[in-house]
Amino acid sequence: MRHRIVQFEGRRYSVKLEPIWWERLEDLSQQQGLRLNQLIGQVARSAADEVNLTAAIRSYCLSKTLDQLSRVEAELEERSLTNQGVPLGLIVDACPSPTLMVSHNQSIQRANQAAVQWLGVDAAALIGRMIGHYIQIKSQIPLDKILQEFENGAHHVYQGRIVYLRPGRVVTARANICPGVIDPVGGSSFLLLVDRGPG
C-alpha cells in the first residue's frame, strides 16, 4: 500500500492504495490531460457521501478500464469482420438494399439503414436478437444446411424468400443469402440481402 496526501481546491485527501491503482490513476489523469490531484478531486466530488474515497477511486478506475476494454473489443470485432481488408460492417452499411449480417447462431449482428427502415424497427432493438424473431427465411436448401456449407468454406450465394410480419400485413420478398465471415473456430456469419420487390 502506498499512502499519499493530495490537495485540490483547498481540500486535503488522504488516500491509501495499492501501487496498481496509483499507476492506473496516473494513466487516467494523463489520458484526460489532468493533474493527479485534479482527477482525485473530481472522483471525490462525484462520490456519494456514504462511499469512502478509496473505494470510489477503485470503482472509478475499474469503470474506466472496463469502458476502454469495451471500446477495444468493439474495435477488434469490427476488424475481425473483414473480407479482404474491407470491414464487413462497411459493406453492409454501403448496400442500398436492406441487408442484415447474422451470426452462425442466427443472431443479428448488424443492420444497415435500409433494413432498419424496411423493417420499421430501431437498429438497437435488432442487434443481438434472433433473426427468426423478425423474419422467416425460406429456401430450397434448409438454412442450417446453408450455414454448415458456409462454415465448410462454401462461397455460394443462395436464393431464398423471406416472410416478415408487419402490423396488419404479411410482407414477402426475395433475398440472397451469402457468406460473411467464415471462421470455423469463432463462428461464421452470413449476409441476408433483401430485394424489396414482391417475393
Going along the chain from its start, the domains and CATH numbers come out as 2-79 (no CATH), 82-195 (3.30.450.20)
Kindly tell me the sign of the dihedral angle through the C-alpha atoms of 46, 51, 52, 57. Answer: negative
What is the pLDDT at residue 77? 65
Threshold 0.75, pTM exceeds? no
> Greater confidence, 48 or 12?
12
Tell me how far apart the alpha carbons of residues 65 and 69 are, in angstroms, rounded to a whole number: 6
- Which tens digits make up the pLDDT trace of 108-152? 989 999 999 888 888 888 899 999 888 999 999 998 898 888 888
How high does pLDDT run on average in the chain? 84
pLDDT attached to residue 79: 58
Relative orientation angle of helices 36-46 and 19-31, to the nearest 10 degrees: 100
Residue 193 pLDDT exceeds 80: yes
Closest alpha carbon to 148 in 192, 179, 109, 194: 179
In whole angstroms, how far apart are CA 192 and each of 7, 66, 136, 161? 59, 33, 12, 10
Our separate counts of H helices and E strands in the chain read: 7, 10
Measuring CA to CA, how many Å separate 198 from each of 25, 153, 162, 177?
59, 31, 10, 17
Tell which wins on pLDDT, 92 or 197.
92
Distance of CA 168 to the CA centre of its chain: 32
pLDDT at 169: 80
Following DSSP, what letter does each residue of 60-102 receive, concatenated?
A: HHHHHHHHHHHHHHHHHHHHHSEETTEEHHHHHHH-SS-EEEE
Residue 127: phi, psi to the nearest 5? -60, 130
- Say what the pLDDT of residue 196 is: 66
Identify whether the C-beta of residue 135 lies closer than 8 Å to the C-beta of residue 155.
Answer: no
Report the distance separating Cα 64 and Cα 21, nearest Å: 12
pLDDT tens column, 52-88: 889 999 999 999 998 888 887 777 666 555 545 567 7
Instruction: Assign residue 85 a region (left: φ > 0; alpha: ψ between -120 and 50; beta: otherwise).
Output: left
